[in-house]
């Protein structure tokens, strides 16, 4: 018996497998419209989950305070600031007593040392905030990867992604976000974070959806790009914070 004959036989015989009836178009469309109306009405109820909003606001506020503190510190100590080291697309100053962002200066890729010009304080601040943020994103994706391997995602991971999504948007909207590589990375990250954040409202999320997200992370080389853009240790610090 040949494989070809069996394949032909199988394709013919399988046509009667779960043979669908005519599509009940109108019936389904009526239900779709009704269900969408119900879900639209349900949205304000979900928005009342104040703690999520409060967390997002707090994260935004903290970011603003951190940026302000950093800039103030930069103005007062420009002359005595220690040299910084370039790291991939970002340049992060060494931590000081007034530095709220945990980022150790470490040479990466053989980049040369250089001191920042006073007028570059805003860029440095943005770079530091972005590096810190990307470290947190790396920690989140690592956590997601670990949990999805076990088939379940803690709802807090979704909320965490939602918070990072807010910060990602803030960074993308910043006039300091001029570096094309940084912008591309933040844009790609935004999509992945949105997918993970979406899982929190879908308790039936399955390994297929996890796989789609993981594949997006893999195909875009996201982890490597995040690591390249993040000072060593930032992810660990971020996950522990």
Round to whole Å and give the CA distance between 41 and 53.
19
Among 7, 61, 115, 241, binds another protein (CB under 8 A): 7
What is the secondary structure of 73-98 as a DSSP string?
A: HHHHTGGGPPPEEEETTEEEPPP-TT
Closest CB 10 distance from another protein, rounded Å: 6
Q: Site residues for another protein, window 27-66 (CB under 8 A)?
A: 27-29, 31-32, 35-36, 39
Give Rg (Cα) of the chain: 24
Closest CB 16 distance from another protein, rounded Å: 6
Query: Total residues contacting another protein (rule CB under 8 A)?
Result: 40
Closest CB 95 distance from another protein, rounded Å: 38
Sign of CA dihedral 137, 142, 148, 150: negative
Is residue 76 a contact point for another protein (CB under 8 A)?
no
Is residue 221 a contact point for another protein (CB under 8 A)?
no
Round to whole Å and give the CA distance between 102 and 94.
9
Q: Site residues for another protein, window 166-205 (CB under 8 A)?
A: 191, 194, 204-205
Is residue 150 a contact point for another protein (CB under 8 A)?
no
- Of residues 31 and 49, the one with the C-beta less far from another protein: 31
Q: For residues 192 and 217, is the Cβ–Cβ distance under 8 A?
A: yes
Would you state the structure tokens that stand for residue 47, as one six-digit string? 């928005």
- Of residues 29 and 149, the one with the C-beta less far from another protein: 29
Only one residue has tokens 């032909």, namely 8
Is residue 94 a contact point for another protein (CB under 8 A)?
no
Among 12, 48, 119, 150, binds another protein (CB under 8 A): 12
Closest CB 52 distance from another protein, rounded Å: 19
Closest CB 196 distance from another protein, rounded Å: 13
Question: How many other CB atoms are there within 10 angstroms of residue 179's CB atom?
Answer: 18
- Of residues 14 and 97, the one with the C-beta less far from another protein: 14
- Of residues 113 and 187, the one with the C-beta less far from another protein: 187
Residues engaged in binding another protein (CB under 8 A): 1, 3, 5-21, 23-25, 27-29, 31-32, 35-36, 39, 191, 194, 204-206, 208-209, 211-212, 215
């Amino acid at each position: 018996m040949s494989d070809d004959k069996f394949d032909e036989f199988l394709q013919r015989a399988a046509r009667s497998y779960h043979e669908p009836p005519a599509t009940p178009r109108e019936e389904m469309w009526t239900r779709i419209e009704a269900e969408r109306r119900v879900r639209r009405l349900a949205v304000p109820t979900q928005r009342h989950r104040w703690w999520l909003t409060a967390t997002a606001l707090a994260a935004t506020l903290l970011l603003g305070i951190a940026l302000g503190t950093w800039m103030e510190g930069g103005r007062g100590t420009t002359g005595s600031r220690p040299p910084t080291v370039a790291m991939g697309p970002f340049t992060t100053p060494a931590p000081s007593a007034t530095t709220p962002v945990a980022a150790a200066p470490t040479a990466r890729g053989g980049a040369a040392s250089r001191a920042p010009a006073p007028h570059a304080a805003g860029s440095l601040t943005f770079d530091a905030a972005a590096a810190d943020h990307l470290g947190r994103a790396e920690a989140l994706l690592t956590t997601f990867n670990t949990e999805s391997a076990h088939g379940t995602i803690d709802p807090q991971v979704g909320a965490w992604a939602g918070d990072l999504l807010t910060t990602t948007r803030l960074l993308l909207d910043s006039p300091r976000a001029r570096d094309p590589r940084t912008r591309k990375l933040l844009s790609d990250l935004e999509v992945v974070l949105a997918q993970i954040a979406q899982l929190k409202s879908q308790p039936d999320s399955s390994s297929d959806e996890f796989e789609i997200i993981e594949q997006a992370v893999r195909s875009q080389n996201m982890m490597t790009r995040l690591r390249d853009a993040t000072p060593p240790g930032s992810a660990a610090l971020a996950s522990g914070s």
